[in-house]
Chains A and B, each alone.
Chain A
Amino acid sequence: MDYEYWGLVFRHISPYMWASLGCALAIGLSVAGAAWGIFLTGSSLVGAAVKAPRITSKNLISVIFCEAAAIYGVITAIILQTKVEDVPIGSDGEWSVKILKAGYAVFGSGLCVGLSNLVCGICVGIVGSSCALADAQNSTLFVKILVIEIFGSALGLFGVIVAIIISGMERNTRHVSFSLLLQNSFC
């Protein structure tokens, strides 16, 4: 494994690619998780509501929890795309370390929220399906199973929080590079 060669490759990969990938993964994976969860819970809900129509309005909460996973993804993607700015390439075709770090931060942030909302959506979907079936048989079970769903949807929230923190790291590096530019222009 020629590490110097790989280092060269990575230094030449445009940080715009990493940043764009991060934005795409943020929204793409989150929506995939939310959609997966909604079909899981929706199919059981529709079937169970045939014999017990009273469950439909309460059990829409499960669908809303799945939807929240997608919303987290949208919010993060919008925040991440504001971090992408015009940056100058170095004279030898390589990007400076600070700029690379900013690109990786946006990518990591997007991957973080995307993956955690993907699994959060599936989790809430499965629990929501069981919740609908149990509620149809015995309505006292609904609130108890809802508590499990709340814990499940907290997983997506953790992903968003960490993603925002990581993307905040990007801002510091941008300020540093901007101040460096200012210093250079005055010298």
Chain B
Amino acid sequence: KASFSTRATAEQALNQVHKCTSGNAMEMATFNLKDGYVEAILRGYKGSLLNSGDYALMCQCENLDDLKMHLSTTTYGNLVSEVDVGGANTTTQLIECCTEKFVEEFEYLQCQAEGTLYHFLEMCRIPHMIDNVVLIVSGCLHNQHTPELLEKCHPLGMFDAIASLAVAANMQELYQLVLIDTPLGKYFEGSLSREDLTEMHLEIMRNMLYKCWIEDFNAFCSKVGGTTREVMGRFLSFEADRRAIAIASNSVGTELTHDDKKSLFCKFGSLYPYGQKDLAQAEDHDEILKVLSDYSPYNRLLALASADDDLMIDEILSGQELDLCKESFTQQFHYGVFWAYIKMKEQELRNLMWISECIVQNMHNRIHDGVKF
């Protein structure tokens, strides 16, 4: 068994070397032809993300008015001044306002992009579409009204037929009436066998869709080649690992079988195939951590985290993702920076949500815990 695993790891290593060295010869000299302007705009957006100085000032705010004032000195400008601080749900309104700006920037980028980059940005939207579809379908199960659900959807994941998702009664109808014409249509291949839309099945459907999407995205980036393949390969294998860990830890204590869990894991990533096999068989959180401590870079991250006690696995992974994002900006002429910017911007919105919630609930001592940049 030992010799088989060493041979497999040697093959994996060879594959990775082959992937890294087969790049585009004239990539640097031809990238700017179509995508130079859009990449430069994106780097401008990245430069105006909130930095440590902004966060330090905002963490010291006493109330939401102060927070709004600080936000107006950043690139958010006067957008947040319309949010009424006195009313209910102000933190949600504030974050929605900021999210709108993000979506506007993203749509500008997509407008200016052509060809391959346009498809890349479309693929970046798909996880939001998946979340929206699951949100609407589960809302319908609980008999909520469609307009309310549509308001809760993430704006990046809107597509034309989304309002008509509410009419479907079961999976087959959902697929054949609505989803087959949307960008999500091709991801439904594997999950049509489930008939009823119950809560459990919805989660499985969501994870199955994510798995299909990640594998499709990986194939797309490999076809693009060059530095994009290298950078996005890193991002997507991290994403695959992260989803595997999330599925394993969320299904602890549920009746999901080992084989079911394995079918939800992606067929690549640094945990594929042996780590995923071990994760599928893990019965509790300690076993999951034990499996992770055999694989790099998770062993190094867990070692660092255990020194700083009480750090959740989610936070460790978020920190690692932010590091990968910042690294990707050190290379030019690739599409990985677009993905990295989306992730960094979403983290910034989560930070703002955390800060405003802490201010509203008067938990100033915990305000620094949730802020990552």
Contacts and interface: CB of A to CB of B under 8 A. Distances in A.
Q: Which of B32, B38, B39 gathers most chain A CB within 10 Å?
A: B32
Given A51-B44, A130-B332, A133-B332, A46 B29 contact: no
A51 B45 contact: yes
Contact of B44 (A39, A43, A47, A125): A47
B39 A47 contact: yes
Interface string B40-79: 1101110110000000000000000000000000000000
- Interface size class, chain A: 20 to 34
Q: Which of A40, A122, A125 gathers most chain B CB within 10 Å?
A: A40
A181 to B, nearest CB: 49
B32 A132 contact: no
B36 A47 contact: yes
Contacts, number: 61
Contact of B43 (A40, A122, A125, A133): A133
Nearest to B35: A43
A47 B112 CA distance: 11
Contact of A48 (B29, B43, B48): B43
Contact of B47 (A44, A46, A137): A137
Interface residues of B, number: 16
Interface string A23-62: 0000000000000100110011111101110000000000
B134 to A, nearest CB: 36
Contacts of B47: 51-52, 136-137
Contacts of A126: 28-29
A44 B44 CA distance: 11
A44 B35 CA distance: 9
B36 A43 contact: yes
B37 interface: yes
Interface of B: 28-29, 32-33, 36-41, 43-45, 47-48, 332
- 4 smallest CB-CB distances across A and B, nearest first, come from A47-B40, A51-B44, A43-B36, A47-B37
Interface of A: 36, 39-40, 43-48, 50-52, 122, 125-126, 129-130, 132-133, 136-137
11 contacts: A39-B33, A39-B36, A40-B29, A47-B43, A48-B40, A50-B40, A51-B44, A51-B48, A125-B29, A133-B40, A136-B43
Given A44-B36, A125-B32, 5 more contacts: A40-B32, A45-B40, A47-B37, A129-B36, A133-B40
